[in-house]
């Protein structure tokens, strides 16, 4: 009985190649699992981040101004109507001293706010 040594060696080589391929495939799977586990550990070990807000001094001042404006009384529409009527009739007289004093007072109030 004759044995074909080349055929036997070829089958052995093919079998070794198959084993090598399977080994590489298993090795890659293990690497992938390891990477996934590391990612899970990293995600779990990160502390939760919390959002925070801080307002600048200017924003705080604007907020204060808004609150003051909301708390002031509304415009007296009757007084506005009577002044309009007096201006239209030419009867409204402007007191320059009183106007200057009111402007100075207004600017002083603005300086207190800012």
Query: Which residue, among 106, 113, 111, has the nearest Cα to 67 in the 3D structure?
Result: 113
0.75 exceeded by the pTM? no
39 found inside a domain: no
Helix axes 57-71, 96-113, angle to 10 degrees: 130
The three-class DSSP label of residue 113 is helix
105 found inside a domain: yes
Q: For the chain, what is the domain count?
A: 1
88 found inside a domain: yes
- Residue pLDDT, tens place only, 38-92: 877 766 666 677 888 888 999 889 988 988 888 887 788 899 999 999 999 999 9
97 found inside a domain: yes
4 found inside a domain: no
- Show the domain range for 108: 78-114
């Amino acid at each position: 009985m004759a044995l074909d040594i080349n055929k036997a060696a070829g089958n052995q080589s093919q079998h070794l190649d198959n084993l090598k391929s399977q080994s590489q495939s298993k090795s890659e799977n293990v690497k992938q699992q390891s990477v996934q586990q590391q990612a899970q550990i990293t995600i779990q070990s990160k502390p939760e981040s919390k959002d925070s807000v801080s307002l600048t001094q200017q924003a705080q001042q604007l907020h204060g101004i808004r609150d003051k404006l909301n708390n002031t009384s509304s415009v007296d529409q009757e007084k506005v109507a009577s002044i309009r009527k007096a201006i239209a009739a030419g009867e409204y007289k402007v007191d320059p001293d009183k106007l200057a004093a009111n402007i100075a007072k207004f600017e002083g109030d603005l300086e207190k706010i800012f």
